[in-house]
């Protein structure tokens, strides 16, 4: 070896670069990586609503960052960042809002409104079986919400049954009669 200092510096520089690449990859995956979770399309194919997970949930019981993206004929026309308090769980098409030993409350995407201007989300409450499991087909409706694509507003219907009329504001934004 002609110059041991130079060799040591090269090894140290390689180590620092490798550590920086690993740290950068970790930060990208936990904070910025975007993945599509669910997609809904209008009947005429003109609009598409995409639910995306962004990064990873805060550890150990933090909220999960996400995004709702509205596209018109393939072009993004609206993006809304969201946070789902899911006890450290990821954004999914069925996100758990709260859970204890007896019940679980979750939100699920239900489709488009009649006028195709809103995404509809249903909030359910479900009782757990004796062994702690639960079946999502047994849940009772707590409320149904309309996410207005154009403004990003969320409107509560007050509905606890599918056949309920819903609030005036809900009927107005969804086009229900």
Nearest to 95 by CA among 86, 83, 82: 86
Range of the domain at 123: 33-174
pTM greater than 0.85: no
Shared domain for 19 and 73, answered yes or no, is no
User: pLDDT tens string for the chain (177 positions)?
Assistant: 578 888 899 999 999 999 999 998 888 887 888 888 877 777 788 888 888 888 887 777 777 788 888 888 888 888 888 777 666 667 766 667 778 888 888 888 788 888 988 888 889 999 988 888 887 778 899 999 998 888 888 899 999 998 898 999 999 999 987
Contact predicate 145/113, CB 8 Å = no
Shared domain for 3 and 45, answered yes or no, is no
Shared domain for 118 and 54, answered yes or no, is yes
Shared domain for 39 and 109, answered yes or no, is yes
Shared domain for 56 and 81, answered yes or no, is yes
What's the domain count of the chain? 2
Nearest to 54 by CA among 79, 78, 81, 76: 81
Distance CA 35, CA 53 (A): 5
Shared domain for 44 and 118, answered yes or no, is yes
Shared domain for 39 and 78, answered yes or no, is yes
Shared domain for 54 and 127, answered yes or no, is yes
């Amino acid at each position: 070896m002609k110059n041991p200092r130079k060799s040591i510096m090269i090894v140290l520089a390689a180590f620092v670069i490798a550590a920086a690449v690993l740290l950068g990859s970790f930060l990208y995956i936990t904070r910025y990586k975007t993945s599509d979770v669910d997609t809904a399309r209008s009947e005429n194919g003109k609009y598409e609503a995409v639910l995306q997970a962004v990064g990873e949930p805060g550890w150990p019981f933090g909220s999960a960052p996400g995004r709702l993206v509205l596209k018109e004929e393939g072009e993004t026309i609206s993006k809304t960042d969201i946070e789902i308090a899911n006890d450290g769980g990821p954004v999914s098409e069925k996100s758990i809002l709260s859970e204890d030993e007896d019940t679980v409350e979750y939100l699920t995407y239900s489709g488009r409104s009649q006028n195709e201007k809103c995404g509809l989300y249903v909030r359910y409450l479900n009782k757990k079986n004796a062994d702690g499991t639960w079946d999502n087909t047994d849940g009772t409706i707590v409320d149904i919400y309309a996410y207005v694509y154009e403004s990003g507003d969320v409107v509560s219907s007050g509905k606890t049954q599918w056949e309920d009329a819903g609030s005036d504001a809900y009927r107005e934004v969804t086009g229900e009669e």
